[in-house]
Structure 1
């Protein structure tokens, strides 16, 4: 970059710092580098003008007012654990990191938490637990993902099959719009139908409509102890059949699936004695307190009816180890190579068709695809193992990535159940929702962000600003 451009950037840096006062502004390349990408590791990430780290809603308002006045794009960022490229820096833009926004207040009487977005999911859980309460949404990355990022993508997790996703627990939010206005959506009320449900619009909007600066979350009483059942299968189709049978009869608090590749990857890391020969592992839980253990019996019966090689109820400590094995799946498979991560979802009766279809895609393209799933609600994570050093393999992996999403759409499913569209899945969005609905979504985006400065390139094309 020439000296003229550098001089212009220096002037912008000075103007930004002057406008933001005490807000931390990082402008040195080495300091900004960790903020340029999320866990999707988008190779096309730009070099931002600056990274700003606000601590309050007023700070975020100042950032957005300055960005709006200067036409500078803003990329909101939580803890950077996103898997779809939703926090990819834009060249010459601002990365707005919420990591220093960490206030939390628990109201025991109403069973609610008021939190800033920079807190980790695990920290919200711990604060609630200190009062005998529970915040249920639990992405596998709950120890490192931010609560603001969870709301931005409407994250789910292992227990959402029974207890729901993030949107089911967001009662209110404070959001800063592109022009710097702060608006309050919803609030500490369990029932509220006054006006259009704008809160639902912002949860899952991936930072394209506004920056979430505060959340009011619903909490539950602490859950009862859970019992864990485990089954090994000789075929993926039989395992999928057992999952569908369980979900149609009972409401488990967890119902997870792992294929042979993911099981072996986890066993390489944990060495806990997982069966390497089985085609699939299903781990299920019940927190039903009925003395006859009807849910556990129903799940074990479904396993037997579908020809499980082995099925049993695990002792509590062993049950925790199996749950941990499922949570370890993605980082374990990552040891095999960089991943192209999917989170396609299908109606439960289509689960076996999705699994066998993904297996066929892997064979046809000559790539390894590990398959894990929040199987009880049809939300799956095919993990395509990439080899960037082999251009031919990398090209086949990217073809497989698109074919998995196309398969999910054909089966009546979705290209994203909980990770968000981000940048990586944007080309397939229209195939799922159609031109009419995408056009309506663009009109909403333009109404709230007429200059297209909020997270350009995420969900929408970067030029989907002014009509």
Structure 2
């Protein structure tokens, strides 16, 4: 699209202030947290205020064959909201309403509502929305749905997909469709909801979701254990998950511990090779028994220091240490962030292999992990002013993903493929699996207008 007439048509169809095309304003919408270097300022940004606005925009884009990139809060870590010249970004930031149905135990949330806003609204009526990405205070529900986000609690309670009962989604031609509802069981037809969850805006734009809520959990007990090595910590994880299911089971390696301590001065043991954080929210005496079992296993695997507490504020402080891991690592330099996951029994092999990759390439790789479900975040740190370091970091980044696939794992556990990992998708899916994905993409978006370049290799669609 090169003429200005179609864009003026979109301005005319939507209220004043919804569409912006001033480059000084649109530039902030061109990339997400991944800071994809290929990002370019979009043709325009549509800050939609309703499903009808999304429908109008996609119908216009369909007529004029204009690419559309959906965007929430821009906290994505895989380049899933990377804009390019000539595309229109649909920002859902203004669609942020949340409504709680206390009888059905569900929340209806527009896509631009923040995860924490859903949590707070549920908490006010004694309910709970479990999925809790580390960015839960600033990420949107729509973005969580787009990537099937997980978080610290997912080891026990599940990921976003496990809580989506219904949704309103706008298809590539502007058609709005309602799927599911407040019912807990529904076996009618194909599971289209599950198809859209995790599709990263490539099949349609989700504008509202119906989320299952749970009763508030029992107060948590927290345990923190220091280990001489990451491998010892992961071996403890295998034994822990064999006997119980903590509500949180997180790992931080030595580099991460050191970075967090430098930022927070929390008194963490800088000499530790790894730190394991476990929480139990079962009712007493089950919670006490679970923490005791975790402690015994940690001692068996050589934990050098173990501390447990029932104090909620103290426990939350330790959890906050884990949530601050990525911001702390980012202070060390530029980063390439991984999101690889493996079957839990392969976790020791993964972390040991990552350490070898770091040594072989002479780079720093900090490891944070949702250890209880095998989802790790190896973070490659480098100096962008040093070309040799960047090259080594990219080599290490690729090697980590190759290692995860060798271990029958995945290139993304919760952040999505986006643009940064799409070249590894064929290796994970195989030719037949990739062809099936392309068939689905063509059925929903025959002109490849929705988030073009994300997830699926564009030349094959």
TM-score (normalizing by structure 2): 0.98
2:450 to 447, 451, 454: 454
Deviation at 1:56, TM superposition (A): 0.6
Q: Determine whether 1:378 maps to 2:374.
A: yes
Q: Determine whether 1:40 maps to 2:34.
A: yes
Structure 1: distance between partners of 2:79 and 2:106: 31
Give the corresponding residue for 1:299: 294
Structure 1 residues 321-366: Cα deviation after superposition (integer angstroms, max 9, x where no partner): 1100000000110001121101100111111110010001011111
Residues 456 and 463 of structure 1 are in contact (CA less than 8 Å); yes or no, is this contact kept in structure 2?
A: no
Deviation at 1:18, TM superposition (A): 1.3
Specify the SS of the correspondent of 1:294. helix
Q: Determine whether 1:168 maps to 2:199.
A: no
2:79 to 79, 85, 96: 85
Give the corresponding residue for 2:222: 228
Deviation at 1:23, TM superposition (A): 6.0
Structure 1: distance between partners of 2:285 and 2:124: 28
Q: Which ranges in structure 1 are unaligned for 5 or more consecutive residues?
A: none
TM alignment of 1:172-251, pairs within 5 A:
172-251=166-245
1:52 to 32, 46, 54: 46
TM alignment of 1:63-82, pairs within 5 A:
63-82=57-76
Deviation at 1:22, TM superposition (A): 4.0
Give the corresponding residue for 1:359: 355
Specify the SS of the correspondent of 1:284. strand
Specify the SS of the correspondent of 1:178. coil
Specify the SS of the correspondent of 2:146. helix
Give the corresponding residue for 2:440: 444
Structure 2: distance between partners of 1:301 and 1:373: 21
Specify the SS of the correspondent of 1:322. helix
Structure 1 residues 279-311: Cα deviation after superposition (integer angstroms, max 9, x where no partner): 000000001113262101110011011110011
Specify the SS of the correspondent of 2:458. coil
Specify the SS of the correspondent of 2:165. strand
Give the corresponding residue for 1:428: 424
Structure 1 residues 351-407: Cα deviation after superposition (integer angstroms, max 9, x where no partner): 111001000101111110000100000000000112221111101101111110000
Structure 2: distance between partners of 1:56 and 1:301: 53
2:95 to 101, 112, 120: 101
Structure 1: distance between partners of 2:315 and 2:192: 40
Q: Determine whether 1:128 maps to 2:122.
A: yes
Residues 13 and 27 of structure 1 are in contact (CA less than 8 Å); yes or no, is this contact kept in structure 2?
A: no
Specify the SS of the correspondent of 1:145. coil
TM alignment of 1:390-409, pairs within 5 A:
390-409=386-405
Structure 1 residues 124-173: Cα deviation after superposition (integer angstroms, max 9, x where no partner): 10011111110000000000000000000000000000000000000001
Give the corresponding residue for 1:310: 305
Specify the SS of the correspondent of 1:420. coil
Structure 2: distance between partners of 1:275 and 1:73: 50
Give the corresponding residue for 2:413: 417
Q: Which piece of structure 1 moves more, 233-242 or 274-283?
A: 233-242
Residues 422 and 454 of structure 2 are in contact (CA less than 8 Å); yes or no, is this contact kept in structure 1?
A: yes
Structure 2: distance between partners of 1:462 and 1:30: 29
Cα RMSD after superposing both structures: 1.1
User: What is the number of equivalent residue pairs in this alignment?
Assistant: 459
Deviation at 1:9, TM superposition (A): 5.0
Q: Which ranges in structure 2 are unaligned for 5 or more consecutive residues?
A: none
1:261 to 232, 255, 263: 255
Residues 6 and 64 of structure 2 are in contact (CA less than 8 Å); yes or no, is this contact kept in structure 1?
A: no
Residues 452 and 463 of structure 1 are in contact (CA less than 8 Å); yes or no, is this contact kept in structure 2?
A: no
